[in-house]
Amino acid sequence: MSDPNIPTEPPDPIRRGFGLKDQVRAERREAYYSPLIEKIRQAGNRWRIGGIELRLAREFGFCYGVDKAIDFAYETHRRFPDRRIFLTTEIIHNPRVNQRLIEMGVHFLGGQYAGRYGIEDVTAEDVVFLPAFGYEVQLLERLRGIGCITVDGTCGSVVHVWKRVERYAREGLTSIIHGKWRHEETVATASHVAAEGGKYLVIFDEPEATMVCDFIRTGEGSQLLAEKFRRAMSPDFDFSRDLERIGVANQTTMLSSESLAIAGMLRSALEARYGSEGIEDRFRMFETICTATQERQDAVQEMMADPPDLMLIVGGFNSSNTGHLCEIAAHHCPSYHIEEVDCLISPERIRHKPAGGGAAIETKGWLPARRPLSIGITAGASTPNRVVGEVIERLASWEEK
């Protein structure tokens, strides 16, 4: 009898778990759970180590989308013990989680963990897992053509963005996506716009939005823009034609205050060019920052009402939402985005990614010697509690000497 969990023809992605959550729980807990974090949470998110007071953000760590994707990947691994399992790219932006999947025998087809296999090696006998960020439409079509089993770990909040931009495309609006043009989620979102026959332009920050708004107001400088945004727009994007009616959406993990500011700038520019009458037809905005990102940003903002002496923000260096948590905190106190416990090299030296981006650097003299000292801690939506717990244990090992 055929397995009802595995579609036959056409091979649509499997989007529901296999009912094996209980069977993978222990394995998952072993990899990501931290009893210390549990203890600190129960103690009201405050913890004392010698002269250091630790303050944990009210919300941090794994979000619902990451939880679901990891469960689903573990279940897939359990469900298909005799098949090769591939991930199209990182399942989420966290080195610990991706390394663990490699140890389990999962192969990566793309991204920084790509090994010896490419998509051309995938056969109908294989299983391909699509990560939490989603997938490009063309990639799914190719997998369908191969006829392999495809398991879709895309977060529901990302699907929500796709629905929004697809609607913009059907209504003839150009999608302006506030995001990073090379981020997996935004690449996938852009492909969904294109698949509906729509146009898109990806804007990263307010300075880029200012350039676009200046063009909308004056109609001048399209060549400069075409060069600047060449990798961040539809292949046949025409600035003079495609910015008359726009709909704004965001990569789910952007800074919400910046997304709102950019939307406001674009709306004002359209009003300046075409007048306020009919603006509802020319401009749409739907904030698609996901709830988990928003809650983690809000929790850091709350902590900054009474800032700690310094802040540690734990998460993958390529994790967009973690980087934004660091940006928020950095306005109020010295803030260090660290990827793993090894980034805490010594009480003297720390390896971290500076707020606002750039490559990881080493900073000396990061941990003040004075006591009492307060340290705030938060973590991005893809960071296991186990990693945060290890960071606290390392601080404790120095303090208790």
* Helix residue spans in 123-277 (DSSP H): 137-146, 156-170, 184-195, 206-218, 222-228, 239-242, 256-274
Write the interaction track for ligand SF4 spanning residues 245-264; mark x where CB under 6 A is met and - where it is not. -------xx-----------
Nearby residues of 381 by Cβ (< 8 Å), 6 or more positions away: 61, 62, 63, 65, 66, 253, 292, 293, 296, 315, 319, 321, 322
Q: Does 132 bind ligand SF4 (CB under 6 A)?
A: yes
Q: How far is the CB of 392 from ligand SF4 (least distance, A)?
A: 23
CA 170 to chain centre: 27
Q: How far is the CB of 69 from ligand SF4 (least distance, A)?
A: 7
Please tell me whether residue 280 adopts helix, strand or coil conformation: helix
- Name which of 96 and 351 has its Cβ closer to ligand SF4: 96
Among 31, 290, 303, 367, binds ligand SF4 (CB under 6 A): 290
Q: Is the peptide bond before 10 cis (omega within 30 degrees of 0)?
A: yes
User: How far is Cα 285 from Cα 190, in angstroms, rounded to an integer?
Assistant: 16
Maximum C-alpha span of the chain? 70
- Name which of 45 and 322 has its Cβ closer to ligand SF4: 322
Q: Does 186 bind ligand SF4 (CB under 6 A)?
A: no
- Name which of 282 and 386 has its Cβ closer to ligand SF4: 386
> Which two structure tokens, joined as six digits, stand for 380?
């991005």
Please tell me whether residue 308 adopts helix, strand or coil conformation: coil
Please tell me whether residue 37 adopts helix, strand or coil conformation: helix
Interface of this chain with ligand SF4, residues 55 to 94, rule: CB under 6 A: 63-66
Q: Does 321 bind ligand SF4 (CB under 6 A)?
A: yes
Among 54, 143, 151, 155, binds ligand SF4 (CB under 6 A): 155
Active-site position among 90, 166, 185, 339: 185
Residue 185 bears catalytic tag: yes
Q: Does 154 bind ligand SF4 (CB under 6 A)?
A: no
> Which two structure tokens, joined as six digits, stand for 350?
């720390």
Q: Does 158 bind ligand SF4 (CB under 6 A)?
A: yes
Q: How far is the CB of 239 from ligand SF4 (least distance, A)?
A: 30
Q: Does 383 bind ligand SF4 (CB under 6 A)?
A: no
Q: Which residues bind ligand SF4 (CB under 6 A)?
A: 63-66, 132, 155, 157-158, 252-253, 290, 292-293, 321, 381
Q: Which residues are catalytic?
A: 185
